[in-house]
Structure 1
Amino acid sequence: ATGLSYPQCILFKHSIALGIVPNAWKTAIVIPLPKKPDLSLSLKQRMTKLETVFMENRRQIREDYTNFAS
């Protein structure tokens, strides 16, 4: 994650400065995950999202920085 943080930081800053956020950064794939083995009951499912690699990496860097700073 550390090796990617500098180039991603540059991309993120340019995105903020230009006011343009790529669509790939704003979308997520949401899939239901069953809580219990019975897949027929939709009430026993929870929703989860699959983040893009970029956003997952940004989240991890933010968490690492927050943990380091505290």
Structure 2
Amino acid sequence: MKTSVEIDEKLLAQVKRILGTETLRETIEKSFEEVVHHKALEQSAQLLGKIDLDLSRESIRSQRRKRKASR
């Protein structure tokens, strides 16, 4: 998609330096990827403590036995 946008040159230079990008297109795409990644991390963090995990030794051994038996 082609579009025309006015971009603050100082801000663009800062973002390029932070992201290690060279072109405007590369900087925009990398910025979008970072936003999507950040949102995914945010959503994962919200799940912490909401998923009931039993990581006791016996529970893990039991799960392994179940997997081996189903093969």
TM-score computed with the length of structure 2 as normaliser: 0.29
Greater fraction of residues in helix: 2
Give the structure with the higher percent strand. Answer: 1
Alignment TM-score, normalising by the size of structure 1: 0.29
Structure with the bigger RCO (C-alpha within 8 Å, sep 6+) is 1
